[in-house]
Amino acid sequence: MHSDEIPVTVLSGSLGAGKTTLLNHLLENAGDRDLAVLVNDMGSVNVDAELVAEGSDLDAGGVTELSNGCICCELQDDLETAVVRLARERAFDHLLVESSGISEPEPVARLFTTASRVAASYEIDALVTVLDTRRFLDTFAGEDVPERRGETADDETRPLADLLIEQLEVANLVLLNKTDLCDESELEEAEALVNALQPDAETIRTEFSAVDPDRILGVDLFDAARMGELAGWQHALADERADDAHHDHQSEESRQSHDDHHDHRHPDEVYGIESLVFRARRPFHPERLATVLRDLPSSIVRSKGLAWIAGRDVKVDLSQAGPSIRATVRGPWIAALPEVRQELYRSNRPDLEWHDEHGDRQTELVFIGTDLDAEQLHARLEDCLVTDDEWEQASDLENPFPNEGDEDVVLREP
């Protein structure tokens, strides 16, 4: 942290998790720190800002509220104006940004890390996610999945599990709050789940969001270069690719077999939480894959990755969080581009895996779950791959997956 830059802590978490309680706790126990606060709430009256103001020693100018919107989307300009004004008008040691319960923390963090007038004055200290531990377990470890949803900017709704995952996978610190509502075994299971979903995050157990401010403020845990690369599924995929590198001495026949399809298990001894990586150089049959995805057992907490779908010459991004499964287009395969552009992309990406016949087209999916039946899941996914005859007739197959960049297909929801 440079001495002329103000450290920033971004607080996120679902509605009712305890973010505002944490904020008030930090203000009340700030000691010699002079804290500035920016809070955001989706209500027409920002009750959070009133609570913060009542619980702090700051005057009204020390609390900035952005009402009627989400600071990570339509009020982004307001957020930038607010933090620049705070830095200009008053001196303080640390800025706390409490996003609303439906906000994704990563876009907020980007504002402080990209080249802008904001980044010139501030530097992210940590991204902190507060979890309602009971609800977290009910969402990802329980048999009865809650159907609670959050309002989005365009009045649509989205499953709570989606947002929980997004807030968790970028976190540097995770507060398992409301621990008084769980027993020890449940807390250990929650910690194991957090570690599987975000292995690099520090986990702190709290009741009523009470935590030593020194464990939250001035911790210097944020690494802008690695933001968006810390999730458990990304770790599993990186481990899998590293394992592949160790097999370079294999015979050509063995390597070819490995290229066709490969899976790997990464066990966690606690509570049977493990991950499965499925890779294939043959496309999926769209309807068979959609059926398998819709039938994924509740024990699979998270799955993520790119899929090669027959009849679609684009990268299909599959994202599953609890009961929610969505498919979006990440962009075209490099192999689908004109040859001149292919050469340009490949020259800029020397580590790109390239198949002589299929180019960069391949499936790489990671599944994280409790008591995961990896062999059965692998077998079902392998059965989804097209036969030679189906491959030749791929354009005639019924296909529920997206084909354009602006499409977002919901394959399953609560």
CATH number at residue 273: 3.30.1220.10
Distant-in-sequence, close-in-space partners of 192: CB < 8 Å, separation ≥ 6 = 268, 270, 271, 273
- Same domain for 102 and 222, yes or no, is yes
On whether residue 293 sits in a domain, the answer given is: yes
Average pLDDT over residues 155-163: 62
Q: In which band, very low, low, confident or very high, does the pLDDT at 77 lie, cut at 50, 70 and 90?
A: low
Phi and psi dihedrals of 214, rounded to 5? -65, -15
CATH number at residue 208: 3.40.50.300
- Same domain for 54 and 133, yes or no, is yes
- How confident is the model at residue 258, as a pLDDT? 43
- Same domain for 183 and 313, yes or no, is no
Which of 179, 188, 174 minimizes the C-alpha distance to 206? Answer: 179
- How confident is the model at residue 249, as a pLDDT? 46
- How confident is the model at residue 119, as a pLDDT? 79
Lowest mean pLDDT among 95-99, 258-262, 348-352: 258-262
Share of the chain above pLDDT 70, in %: 78
- Same domain for 36 and 145, yes or no, is yes
- How confident is the model at residue 339, as a pLDDT? 92
Average pLDDT over residues 268-292: 87
Q: Roughly how many angstroms between the first and final C-alpha of the chain, as a whole number?
A: 43
- Whether 293 has a pLDDT exceeding 80, the answer reads yes
Backbone dihedral region for residue 136 (phi beyond 0: left; psi -120 to 50: alpha; all else: beta): alpha
- How confident is the model at residue 147, as a pLDDT? 43
- How confident is the model at residue 254, as a pLDDT? 44
- How confident is the model at residue 74, as a pLDDT? 59
- Same domain for 222 and 247, yes or no, is no
Lowest mean pLDDT among 143-157, 176-190, 294-308, 341-355: 143-157
Domain end (from 226, 252, 271): 226
- Same domain for 266 and 397, yes or no, is yes
**DSSP-derived 3-state class of residue 405:** coil
- Whether 76 has a pLDDT exceeding 90, the answer reads no
On whether residue 242 sits in a domain, the answer given is: yes
Per-residue b or e along 177-206, where b marks 16 or more CB atoms closer than 10 Å to that residue's CB: bbbeebeeebbebbbbbbbbbbeebbbbbb
Report the predicted TM-score, pTM, of the whole model to 2 decimal places.
0.79
Domain end (from 195, 226, 257): 226
Share of the chain above pLDDT 90, in %: 47
- Whether 251 has a pLDDT exceeding 80, the answer reads no
| Average pLDDT in the chain | 82
- Same domain for 197 and 158, yes or no, is yes
On whether residue 22 sits in a domain, the answer given is: yes
CB of 239 closer than 8 Å to CB of 52: no
Domain housing 54: 6-226
On whether residue 1 sits in a domain, the answer given is: no
On whether residue 119 sits in a domain, the answer given is: yes
Phi and psi dihedrals of 65, rounded to 5? -115, 140
- How confident is the model at residue 117, as a pLDDT? 76
- Whether 125 has a pLDDT exceeding 60, the answer reads yes
Number of domains in the chain: 2
- Same domain for 205 and 123, yes or no, is yes
On whether residue 357 sits in a domain, the answer given is: yes
- Whether 245 has a pLDDT exceeding 70, the answer reads no
In this predicted model, which residue has the larger pLDDT, 341 or 118? Answer: 341
| Range from 17-21, 113-117, 215-219, 248-252 that averages highest in pLDDT | 215-219
- Same domain for 302 and 366, yes or no, is yes
- Whether 54 has a pLDDT exceeding 90, the answer reads no
- How confident is the model at residue 146, as a pLDDT? 41
- Whether 156 has a pLDDT exceeding 60, the answer reads no
Q: Tell me which DSSP letter residue 125 carries.
A: E
- Same domain for 301 and 385, yes or no, is yes
- How confident is the model at residue 85, as a pLDDT? 82
Count Cβ atoms within 10 A of the Cβ of residue 304 and give its class: 0-12 exposed, 13-18 middle, 19 or more buried: buried
- How confident is the model at residue 15, as a pLDDT? 83
Distant-in-sequence, close-in-space partners of 29: CB < 8 Å, separation ≥ 6 = 213
- Same domain for 71 and 196, yes or no, is yes
Lowest mean pLDDT among 161-165, 250-254, 319-323: 250-254
Domain end (from 196, 226, 256): 226
Phi and psi dihedrals of 265, rounded to 5? -110, 140
Phi and psi dihedrals of 12, rounded to 5? -135, 170
| pLDDT tens-digit readout, 379-408 | 999 999 999 999 999 889 999 999 987 788
Average pLDDT over residues 113-123: 80
| Range from 44-48, 114-118, 243-247 that averages highest in pLDDT | 114-118
- How confident is the model at residue 57, as a pLDDT? 57
- How confident is the model at residue 153, as a pLDDT? 38
273 DSSP β-pair partners: 370
- Same domain for 396 and 283, yes or no, is yes
Cα angle 141-145-150, degrees, rounded to a multiple of 5: 115
- How confident is the model at residue 336, as a pLDDT? 94
